[in-house]
Structure 1
Amino acid sequence: MDAVNSEADKDSGAETSAQKMQKVLQCFSVLERSLSVSEIAERTGMPRSTAHRWCVSLREIGFLDQDHTRDEYRLGLSLLQLGNTVLSSMDLQKQQRPIVESLTQASQEGVHLGVFDGISMVFVSHTPGGPLVRNNSTTLVESSPCYCTSVGKAALAFQPAPVVQRIIDMGLVAYTRNTITDPDKLREELRIIRERGYALNNGEFEPHTRCIGAPIRNASGKVIAAISVTGTSKRLPDSRVKNIAPLVVQHADALSIQLGYRIRGVAS
């Protein structure tokens, strides 16, 4: 990648090669899984020739794959392998299982644990709920938008304003008629979540689904993830939401404490 590195340094003395690579990889999202070189160049602000060289170099090391028509690129399997390594070594992954299973038993509903990757929520653990609730969690790697799920909104509400604006700029696609697609309404929703301490998803990502999510903080207090209880709208009426929401917050706080976060009023 030496040729790309020298070219990148010529393009901008303020940006390192690593930053250039990051900009290319961050062009992709759940909503935009495949992009042409021209689209990547537009999103990164690079000349098309530079963007093409980066795509070729990233393809060679497996960070990008090229489709059969050779017109578009998508994220490569090497990133998934690295991601699995990261997840398996994260303190959160090590600490989550008892908490997830405890919340499943307490709520008698499904539970999801997701990590915020700066753009979307990557789900790393799930337990089924309902009448046949089982006391065992499953590790998985899936992603979903952060603006229309309870775990996503619980995490997004506590991110800096530029991060929220980046999500808005990427487009608020309507998955259902309940999806919040107006930027001002989303910002107001996030403000309410910060005050209330938990987020609600009222059929915004999938119809007839209701979820309650709360943020998880690391030792420095940064919200890095969220946990949620998920059920149908019939199984989670307002009366049950009022009872389950404190449980979700308590379990999220318990995980935060295990990660080193010191909650005011809680002895270490």
Structure 2
Amino acid sequence: MKKRAKQTDAGTEPDASASGDRQFVTALQRGLDILRCFRPTDGALGNQELAQRCGLPNSTVSRLTYTLSKLGYLVYLEDIGKYRVGVPVLGLGYACLSGLKVREVAQPYLDELAQHAGNGLLVAMGGRDQFSMIYVACARSEGIVSLQLNVGSRISLARSSMGRAYLAAAAPQEREAILRGIEARTDKERWPQLQSEILRAIEEINTRGFCLNSGEWQADVNSVGVPLPPLHGSGPILALNCGGPAYLLPRERLENDIGPRMVEAVRKIRYAGEGGGR
């Protein structure tokens, strides 16, 4: 039976395949895909919902969720017949965050940017998880209006300024693999426009260090993204963004104020993180 194509951000890594690779454990990959299906805004999910999200047969999902629940990574709620994420997954998340020392270095600069942006606008730093960007650090100033996103939130890799900033910093081979995966998950009619937006953002990063996004992630939300290459030449590529309602972040302000400040903040983060001090 032909395997269903995965259409969500929880899909497999671009070009990942067990074909011809005896070291690749497909069952482990599928189990991790199940865990990736859970989002911070979700309640409990049933096997059918998980199957739809990760593109696996119901019978396979049922075996995987049973195994993950036996290991404690999922908790089965008998009264509704669904699963929620177990505490051991939280332990893995904190282990990851504690290993990202750049978070501690970057946080004061994120705070400064948020205070300058004002009005509750959100400044965040994130890394890639397949076809999503996950926030690993956040800062926001006081204000009535704010995007309801926090550490652990996912946003689109393809449509967000943060994701496009990541793509600009990725090695060409990785970028091409990701773009192929995005194309496979995008309607044919939509792909030319999306590809054009991504390539435009990469060119903006290359020419002025930041890229703008005017309602391309969510309508009436504007943002600016800047890549943060690995410190000391090792570690993951990260990216920063600042976003909020378009009436609080008009394009002119992003272009002439917030964008240049974020490029400078990244320079300071890299300098401090590589031993230069704050």
TM-score w.r.t. the length of structure 1 is 0.68
Look up the match of 1:166. 181
- Structure 1 window deviating more from structure 2 (50-59 vs 107-116): it is 50-59
Post-superposition offset of 1:212: 0.8
Look up the match of 2:194. 186
Aligned residues, how many?
Answer: 237
Post-superposition offset of 1:65: 4.2
Using a 3 Å threshold, how does the CA distance of structure 1 residues 12 and 212 change in structure 2: closer, same or farther? closer
For residues 139 and 21 of structure 1, the distance between their equivalents in structure 2, rounded to whole angstroms, comes to: 28
In the alignment, which of 68, 75, 82 is matched to residue 92 of structure 2? Answer: 82
Post-superposition offset of 1:49: 6.2
For residues 20 and 86 of structure 2, the distance between their equivalents in structure 1, rounded to whole angstroms, comes to: 28
Using a 3 Å threshold, how does the CA distance of structure 1 residues 187 and 62 change in structure 2: closer, same or farther? farther
**What code does the residue aligned with 1:112 have?**
A
In the alignment, which of 232, 241, 255 is matched to residue 269 of structure 2? Answer: 255
Instruction: Tell me, yes or no, if structure 1 residue 110 matches structure 2 residue 108.
Output: no
In the alignment, which of 248, 252, 260 is matched to residue 235 of structure 1? Answer: 248
Post-superposition offset of 1:29: 3.7
For residues 105 and 24 of structure 2, the distance between their equivalents in structure 1, rounded to whole angstroms, comes to: 35
Using a 3 Å threshold, how does the CA distance of structure 1 residues 14 and 83 change in structure 2: closer, same or farther? same
Post-superposition offset of 1:168: 4.2
CA contact (8 A) 1:208 1:233 kept: yes
Q: Secondary structure at the match of 2:254?
A: helix
Matches within 5 A, 1:1-268: 14-16=21-23, 18-26=25-33, 28-29=36-37, 34=45, 36=47, 39=51, 43=55, 52-66=62-76, 68=78, 75-108=85-118, 109-129=121-141, 140-159=151-170, 160-171=175-186, 182-197=190-205, 198-219=210-231, 220=233, 224-243=237-256, 244-260=258-274
Unaligned runs of 5+ in 1: 1-10, 173-180, 262-268
Structure 1, residues 104-138: CA drift from partner, whole Å, max 9, x if none?
A: 244444312222222322223222247689xxxx9
For residues 274 and 179 of structure 2, the distance between their equivalents in structure 1, rounded to whole angstroms, comes to: 26
TM-score w.r.t. the length of structure 2 is 0.66
CA contact (8 A) 1:216 1:223 kept: no
Using a 3 Å threshold, how does the CA distance of structure 1 residues 151 and 13 change in structure 2: closer, same or farther? closer
Structure 1, residues 47-99: CA drift from partner, whole Å, max 9, x if none?
A: 87666544322221123344648876665442232112211231122212111
Identity, in percent, stands at 23
For residues 228 and 144 of structure 1, the distance between their equivalents in structure 2, rounded to whole angstroms, comes to: 11
For residues 241 and 13 of structure 1, the distance between their equivalents in structure 2, rounded to whole angstroms, comes to: 48
For residues 76 and 104 of structure 1, the distance between their equivalents in structure 2, rounded to whole angstroms, comes to: 33
**What code does the residue aligned with 1:241 have?**
L
Using a 3 Å threshold, how does the CA distance of structure 1 residues 145 and 230 change in structure 2: closer, same or farther? same
CA contact (8 A) 2:124 2:135 kept: yes
Q: Secondary structure at the match of 1:112?
A: strand
Using a 3 Å threshold, how does the CA distance of structure 1 residues 235 and 43 change in structure 2: closer, same or farther? closer
Structure 1, residues 166-223: CA drift from partner, whole Å, max 9, x if none?
A: 3444457xxxxxxxx8222222222222221123232334432211111111143776
Structure 1, residues 213-247: CA drift from partner, whole Å, max 9, x if none?
A: 11111143776221112232122223212212111
CA contact (8 A) 2:135 2:152 kept: yes
Let me know the Cα RMSD of the aligned residues. Answer: 4.0
**What code does the residue aligned with 2:222 have?**
R
